[in-house]
Amino acid sequence: MTFQCSDKTILDDWLTVGPLTRTEGKTEALPYRTQLLGAEVEVWKDVGGKLAARTGQRSLLIQECYGYMWICPSGAPRKDLFALPEYSQPGRRIVDCEGIGVAVSGLRMVENFLDMGHFPYVHAHYLGEVPQTEVATYDVSVDETADEIWATNCRFFQPKTSKSATTGLDVQYRYRVVQPMGAVLYKTAFPRPGEMDAIGLFVQPHDEESITAYCLLAYYDDVSTETDLVGFQHTIFGQDKPILENQVPKKMPLRPGIEVPTRCDAMSVAFRRWLASRGTTYGAIA
């Protein structure tokens, strides 16, 4: 088995193969099996409790971080896994929401995660509500050092921003693309309006047109049960899934002119441009 991918920008990244809990009770003889970049991957913990992974006979470079397993398919990572300091910040509650399978390119999944314009339509009564549809101008910047993209000064009126929200709120957002198959968003914490909750989106590309999208919360919420928090997040992802699976084509066009953006798509435009400039082609139409 070899990875069905020739895109170095993806092969040299750290790609998730799911939460660490998947390896519970798994051994080399009976490993956790999953698909990554078109290849079957086996993961287990050896007797010392250390993570190990292979595809076919080939050993893979794997690490554990943020409660998730990360594989570098090429074995030669371009850089360290992205920083998520909120994961270990005191006062935050870490909730793993596990994954949801979506038949779409991972890049379209990430783009959807960065998009505020769809809130009143896809997430009506939760993250947005007609007629409050306007996306105010926000700032986009590329962090050349970390090789990440940021959208800042974003805000949107939300009728029910999270499980703990009891009224509508003008919510502040910050978005961060950490790699082609991953992003983090920060949004006003309803119970602590001075603080921002963090939500990580980790995409496992099974192939160019099918993924599992995992979601990790680092929340300020002492009230909601874990089941409620996970359920809320799955409601939101469940609303996005049929939209994403009806995007044609499933791969994301990077060249301008094929799909027409508008001003509120500044982050999406920056994401596509960033992918094109670094030569990412996996899950894309160049």
Partner 1 sequence: MNSPIGVEMQSQIWQPVLPSHYLRASKNIVAGFLQGQELALWRSEAGAVQAWENRCPHRGTRLTIGRILNDQLSCAYHGWEFDTRGGCTAIPANPSLPLPKQLRVKSFPVAEADGMVWVSAAAGNAAASQALPPTSTGALAFFCRSLGIRAPMGDVATELNAQGFKATGAQTWEGTLAGQAATVLLNEATSLRTFAHVWLSEEPAAAALSDVLAKCRLFRRDVEARASSRSS
Residue 212 has, within 13 A of its CA and on its CB side, a CA count of 16
The string of DSSP letters for 121-158 reads HHSBTTTBBTTB------EEEEETTTTEEEEEEEEEEE
> Would you give the end-to-end CA distance of the chain in angstroms?
26
d(CA 65, CA 72): 13
116 belongs to the binding site for partner 1 (CB under 8 A): yes
Using CB under 8 A, which of 75, 168, 238, 261 touches partner 1?
Answer: 261
d(CA 236, CA 233): 5
255 belongs to the binding site for partner 1 (CB under 8 A): no
Size of interface with partner 1, in residues (CB under 8 A)? 24
Least Å distance between CB 282 and partner 1? 18
The three-state secondary structure class of 282 is: coil
Least Å distance between CB 264 and partner 1? 4
273 belongs to the binding site for partner 1 (CB under 8 A): no
Binding mask 220-249 for partner 1 (x = CB under 8 A): ----------------------xx--xxxx
Residues 127-146 that bind partner 1 (CB under 8 A): 130, 133-135
Decide whether 85 or 131 has the Cβ nearer to partner 1.
131
Using alpha carbons, list the distances in angstroms from residue 172 to 76, 198, 252.
Answer: 37, 12, 28
Residues that bind partner 1 (CB under 8 A): 111, 116-118, 120-122, 130, 133-135, 242-243, 246-249, 253, 259-264
